Amino acid sequence: MRRASREVLEGLRQFDSATVFNAVVESLGATQGGREMEGRGGILECYTGPEIRCLLPELGCIVGYAFTAEVTSNDPDSVALPWDSYYESLEKTPGPTIAVIKDVDTRPGRGATFGDNMAAAHKALGAVGAVVDGTVRDLNGIRAVGMPVWGRGLVPGHGVFNLVRTGSPVVVGSLLIHPGALLVADL
């Protein structure tokens, strides 16, 4: 997979996501007579929906490559992969990486899928942020770690926390994200 230079990645951080979107649309010639082309799965669907929110706006914009995982937060009978393998893979992945975590529980969002311990581990392994299609807890601890995070909202607890899949495409906020996709996340 071809990766952008550090200068390009840093340059992207200087713009908000709406400006980046406009530049992508323009560069792909996706406008006709000043109107954006329409179509399911087209360029107009290269962003998450309003259900994914920036939970720590003071930590700013991040740019990086998606590192995907699916987890359950309360399903004790779900398949459980070893977290050590996930973290080893994260450490070996060229950065900057953004953890993209999908809650595939039978009751998505009921238990947190990201907290301060995960934020510290991800940051230590080179992740620049996390986008969670699920809920988050320990927001003050995540802020102290300095890990920007996006999610559906906050809950105080979690249950049985199982890693069920890594490295697969996931749908987050109605957007299909492939592992290694270049992401821009801001307010």
What pLDDT, in 10s, does the model give residues 110-144?
999 999 999 999 999 999 999 999 999 999 999 99
Query: Between the CA of residue 109 and those of 40, 90, 161, what are the distances in Å?
Result: 27, 24, 12
Mean pLDDT of the 137-158 span: 97
**Residues above pLDDT 70, as percent of the chain:** 91
Average pLDDT score, the chain: 90
**DSSP-derived 3-state class of residue 40:** coil
0.75 cut: is pTM over it? yes
Report the distance separating Cα 184 and Cα 128, nearest Å.
Answer: 11
Report the distance separating Cα 129 and Cα 118, nearest Å.
Answer: 11
**pLDDT for res 1:** 65
**Residues above pLDDT 90, as percent of the chain:** 72
**pLDDT for res 40:** 47
**pLDDT for res 25:** 80
**pLDDT for res 135:** 97
Contact 110, 141 (CB under 8 A): no
The amino acid present at 158, given as its one-letter code, is: H
At 21-63, the pLDDT tens digits run 888 888 777 554 444 444 445 556 788 999 999 999 999 999 9
150 pLDDT higher than 60: yes
**DSSP-derived 3-state class of residue 106:** coil
Query: Quick one: tokens of 68?
Result: 């995907």
